[in-house]
């Protein structure tokens, strides 16, 4: 969402708005937490024409061209869902939402029982960071979220603090997801490493895939990490369905040998892209990909 609002603490991803959201989500009454985020989402949508344009392009990729009315409704739903997810993520003391269902949880736990940990390949969708905390709470598997550094360090600290209350540790990286050595140690101890695959960080390597009939790319990092660690990759995505309620879909594990040939790595990358595509088709207004 760059370029629509001014820079500094009043930027869309700046300290002012993040602090305001955190205060309302963590200290405000329930009616405020429930009903105010969609209003902020609509306000940001009105103020961000380039982000609206990007969301419209994403919707057309996922579900095809739509009428102006349908596009307007779905764009509004995307922004309001994003604002609600952000508010619920910042309500740290409330803990992970109780109303979350993981479809495919059994295969996730079976993969973790192998003792090599697991790599969660996820995306910027509704509540993408809640699956790990739920497993940490219910089954005792520690999780590390790997994220590219945000522009505003102070705003980032607010978000990271809320996540840490759920028992989640954050590792911030620059251009290469594997520059952080703790990831291998996390997996070798049987833990979870979660990375997002719908954006390729600057200066990071990528693998070409096809999504919605068009060329696309996903980061190479999760695939390389799987090869180095022997841990399975689990495509896992979340969508917000209502107030503090989410649905999580886990796909079949993907495994790569340390010296897997390039064509096998390419097939694994395409399986990741296919899983993400299938999820987005089912939940098109839950993809918070606001800038190219």
49 half-sphere exposure, CB direction, 13 A CA radius:
0
pLDDT at 177: 53
The secondary element (H helix, E strand) that includes residue 227 is helix 221-229
- Among 4-18, 37-51, 76-90, 251-265, top mean pLDDT goes to 251-265
- Residues 6 or more apart whose CB falls under 8 angstroms from that of 258 comprise 227, 228, 230
Residue 245 forms beta bridges with which residues? 99, 242
The pLDDT score that the predictor gives to residue 210 is: 98
User: Nearest-CA neighbor of 271 among 190, 228, 209?
Assistant: 209
Query: What percent of the chain clears pLDDT 90, i.e. is strictly above it?
Result: 46
E-strand stretches of the chain: 99-103, 118-122, 143-148, 168-173, 192-196, 206-211, 214-219, 233-242, 245-250
pLDDT at residue 143 tops 70: yes
Pull the structure tokens for residue 245.
């309620």
Tell me the backbone φ, ψ of residue 49, rounded to 5 degrees. -60, -35
Both tokens assigned to 18: 């993040």
pTM of the entire predicted model = 0.86
The C-alpha atoms of residue 95 and residue 119 are separated, in whole angstroms, by 23
pLDDT at 24: 60
The mean pLDDT value for 212-233 works out to 95
**pLDDT tens for residues 233-258?**
999 999 999 988 899 999 999 999 99
pLDDT band at residue 279 under the 50/70/90 scheme: very high
Give the pair of three-digit tokens for residue 266: 């390419």
**Rounded average pLDDT over 37-62:** 93
Q: Report the range out of 49-53, 162-166, 168-172, 277-281 with the highest average pLDDT.
A: 277-281
What is the residue extent of each domain of the chain? Answer: 8-92, 97-283
Mean model confidence pLDDT for the chain? 83
**97 three-state secondary structure:** coil
pLDDT of residue 4: 59
Q: Is the pLDDT of residue 282 over 70?
A: yes
Region label for 280, one of left (φ > 0), alpha (ψ between -120 and 50) or beta (otherwise): alpha
């Amino acid at each position: 969402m760059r370029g629509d609002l001014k820079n500094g603490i009043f930027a869309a991803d700046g300290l002012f708005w993040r602090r305001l959201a955190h205060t309302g989500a963590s200290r405000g009454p329930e009616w405020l937490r429930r009903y105010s985020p969609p209003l902020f989402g609509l306000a940001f949508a009105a103020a961000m024409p380039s982000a609206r344009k990007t969301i419209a392009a994403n919707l057309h990729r996922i579900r095809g061209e739509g009428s102006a009315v349908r596009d307007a409704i779905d764009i509004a739903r995307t922004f309001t869902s994003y604002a609600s997810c952000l508010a619920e993520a910042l309500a740290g003391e409330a803990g992970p939402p109780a109303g979350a269902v993981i479809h495919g949880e059994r295969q996730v736990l079976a993969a973790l029982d192998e003792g090599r940990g697991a790599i969660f390949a996820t995306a910027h969708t509704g509540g993408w960071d809640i699956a790990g905390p739920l497993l940490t709470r219910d089954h005792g598997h520690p999780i590390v979220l790997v994220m590219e550094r945000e522009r505003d360090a102070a705003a980032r600290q607010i978000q990271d603090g809320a996540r840490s209350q759920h028992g989640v540790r954050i590792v911030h990286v620059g251009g290469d997801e594997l520059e952080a050595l703790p990831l291998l140690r996390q997996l070798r101890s049987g833990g979870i490493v979660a990375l997002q695959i719908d954006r390729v960080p600057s200066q990071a390597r990528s693998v070409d895939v096809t999504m919605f009939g068009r060329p696309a790319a996903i980061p190479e990092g999760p695939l390389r990490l799987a090869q180095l660690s022997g841990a399975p990759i689990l495509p896992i995505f979340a969508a917000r369905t209502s107030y503090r309620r989410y649905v999580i879909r886990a796909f079949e594990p993907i495994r790569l040998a340390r010296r897997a040939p390039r064509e096998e790595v390419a097939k694994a990358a395409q399986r990741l892209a296919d899983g993400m595509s299938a999820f987005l088709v089912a939940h098109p207004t839950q993809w918070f990909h606001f800038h190219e």
